Amino acid sequence: MTTYSAIFETLGLEGWCDSGANASGTMSMAELLAKSSNGNQETSLWDLPFPSLDALHEACGAVPRTRDMTAGLEDIFLLIKNPLKVVLDPITQPLSWAIDGALAGIMSLPWWIMIPAFLIITQLVTRSKKVTVLAALSFLALAFIDHYTYAMQTLAIILVCATISIMIGIPIGVAMSRSDRLRAGVLPLLDMMQTLPTFVYLIPLIFLFSVTESKLYGIAIIIYAVVPVIRLTDLGIRLVDKDVLEAADAFGMSRNQKLFGVQLPLALPNIMAGVNQTIMMSLSMVVIASLVSAPGLGALVLRGIAKLELGVGIIAGLGIVILAILLDRVTKAALVRVDHATRH
């Protein structure tokens, strides 16, 4: 850019810019075309581009380009990839075993055992005949459209990943409720985890793990789904009435006794709401995780998109909706039961 070139010349940086241009090596085809078409043209103030890295690089070869910066990030990641893999492999391997075991266990049992077992569990958890009937109709609908196997695969992955998310999230939420400093440090991280596009979670994991390993999509699901249960556990404990805590102090209860005897029971409705959201987010991420070999209904949706099979995609999407409604109603019925128990 002629205008920016004049600025560098005024600052006496021509030598530095020329040395950078010589060291930068060959130019890309796009740069050669831009140079040949615009190299002799004066840039007016109206057409002056924003002083970005690429615009400044055209005027001064010593200024790095945007692609140089991204290539540098890739080089750093590739440099730490092997040491990071050595550390993470033994830690994350149990996740692969858990997911593979759940898939094998659920798929090894026939439908006439699995469906009644799920209905019994639903009745015990919710104590609601309406929800149990809804569960029965949901499983029958999935079986009727020949999506029972895919739904069970999706359910197995959600069962493992949501359980691990809850086991990780509740202790972190408790710790945040006890320390304002920890909370101030963790909240920005949770905000970032919640706002990042779901596909972004898969990028570094693909570099670290093989696509054939179930822990690849398991880690992505857990990272994405753990946020709500952390937030709502922290919120629930902080919303416990101070008068109740003062009464507990008057009885001489220790900090841990207050936590397990007062705070967690009173915060249970909020925690259960977090569990509900974690399960729902696990289900949504399972569909995205089909891009990296996650089995289940998401794989059918991906097939419908990739091969333009409209019917396959729509029916698989209908199966996901049925499963989502079922999981939502079961967890909400359990929440109502817990809320009723804490009030009486």
pLDDT score for 32: 46
Residue 162 lies in a domain: yes
Show the low-confidence residues of the chain (pLDDT under 50).
29-30, 32-33, 37, 39-40
- Look at residue 70 and tell me if it is in a domain: no
Q: Do 177 and 56 fall into the same domain?
A: no
Closest CA to 62 of 11, 22, 12, 5: 22
Give the separation between CA 229 and CA 233, rounded to whole angstroms. 6
- The answer on 130 and 201 residing in a single domain is yes
Q: What pLDDT, on the 0 to 100 scale, is given for residue 204?
A: 84
Q: What is the average pLDDT value for the chain, to the nearest integer?
A: 86
Q: Give the per-residue pLDDT at 40.
A: 47
The parent domain of residue 31 ranges over 2-64
69 found inside a domain: no
pTM for the full predicted model: 0.83
Q: For 199-222, what is each residue's pLDDT tens digit?
A: 887 888 888 888 888 999 999 999
Can you tell me the distance from the alpha carbon of 315 to that of 122, in angstroms, rounded to the nearest whole number? 25
Q: Is residue 133 part of a domain?
A: yes
Closest residue by Cα to residue 302 from 293, 281, 215: 293
Please check whether residue 268 lies inside any domain of the structure.
yes
Q: Between the CA of residue 130 and those of 124, 180, 273, 304, what are the distances in Å?
A: 13, 43, 20, 34
Note whether 33 and 154 are same-domain residues: no
73 within a domain of the structure (yes/no): no
Say whether both 34 and 170 belong to one domain. Answer: no
pLDDT at 338: 78
